[in-house]
């Protein structure tokens, strides 16, 4: 059982693409058996095939994080087919564009439902098992949009700010049960979700817009899904055994250093 996660079983939501796919693959490389969950049946089967093709252990689950029964089924499948559950990565999310006075209530509710309620339902489904075994690591994917004001994404920012607050609450409440909860807040990462958001915002000018965003990052580039995946490995592993309640920004320095000037 080599690697930082050898012998552990992990549930990763949103594993069919983007950050979730990168996290699932990196977890498998580091020795975890991974329950890959996504509502995209093709995407989640593809990542499972890729993991197995590289010698890793993975099982696919097709489900929606906004469904209580789907979340419960994902946990049950991990226990039944992979023999346990040690790490929960609540990562599934969707974009949400539009100024506050322009977005519809339906659009607001959809973004909050997936990005915040879906995180809660995923974690709630796993907690009875984690509490029962007296150990576990929960990793929540938020965003720097939940920490600083960014234009044109009020529902997304509200949801991700809620994920940050939920992570701190869970960390405090379940520390006596041996469960650690931490939050990753990525900056601009080149994923299908981010590209879709930039395409909605900038149309044919997407490449120029992404280039401008990259030059504003103190470290001089946009992030990759692997940047976030490596942070998720650390927070899911025993290497972070005395770390809980933290918000780890993976953003090239934007939040704490500010954008490059001049």
Q: Catalytic residue numbers?
A: 156
| Residue closest to 262 by CA, chosen among 225, 230, 215 | 215
> What is 24-62 written as a DSSP string?
HHHHHHTT-EEEEEES-HHHHHHHHHHHHHTT-EEEEEE
- Cα 184 vs. chain centroid, distance in angstroms? 7
Q: Are 190 and 233 in contact (CB under 8 A)?
A: no
How far apart CA 21 and CA 40 sit, in angstroms, is 12
How far apart CA 86 and CA 242 sit, in angstroms, is 16
Name the region of 136 (left: φ>0; alpha: ψ -120 to 50; beta: rest): left
* Structure letter (DSSP) for residue 145: G
Query: Would you call 162 helix, strand, or coil by DSSP?
Result: helix
> What is 190-222 written as a DSSP string?
-SHHHHHHHHHHHGGGHHHHHHHHHHTSTTSS-
How far apart CA 150 and CA 153 sit, in angstroms, is 7
Mode of pairing for the β-strands spanning 179-186 and 87-90: unpaired
């Amino acid at each position: 059982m080599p690697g930082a996660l050898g012998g552990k079983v992990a549930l990763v939501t949103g594993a069919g693409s983007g950050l979730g796919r990168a996290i699932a693959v990196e977890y498998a490389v580091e020795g975890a058996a991974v329950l890959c969950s996504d509502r995209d049946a093709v995407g989640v089967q593809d990542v499972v095939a890729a993991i197995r093709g590289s010698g890793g252990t993975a099982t696919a689950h097709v489900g929606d994080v906004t469904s209580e029964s789907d979340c419960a089924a994902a946990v049950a499948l991990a226990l039944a087919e992979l023999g346990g559950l040690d790490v929960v990565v609540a990562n599934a999310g969707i974009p949400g564009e539009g100024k506050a006075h322009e977005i519809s209530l339906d659009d607001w509710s959809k973004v909050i439902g997936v990005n915040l309620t879906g995180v809660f339902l995923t974690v709630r489904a796993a907690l009875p098992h984690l509490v029962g075994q007296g150990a576990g690591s929960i990793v929540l994917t938020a965003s720097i949009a939940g920490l600083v004001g960014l234009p044109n994404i009020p529902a997304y920012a509200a949801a991700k700010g809620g994920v940050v607050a939920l992570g701190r609450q869970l960390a405090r409440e379940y520390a006596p049960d041996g469960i650690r909860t931490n939050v990753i807040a990525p900056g601009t990462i080149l994923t299908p979700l981010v590209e879709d958001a930039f395409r909605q915002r900038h149309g044919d000018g997407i490449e120029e817009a992404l280039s401008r965003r990259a030059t504003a990052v103190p470290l001089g580039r946009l992030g990759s899904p692997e940047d976030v995946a490596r942070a998720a490995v650390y927070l899911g592993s025993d290497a972070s055994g005395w770390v809980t309640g933290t918000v780890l920004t993976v953003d090239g320095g934007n939040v704490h250093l500010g954008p490059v000037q001049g």
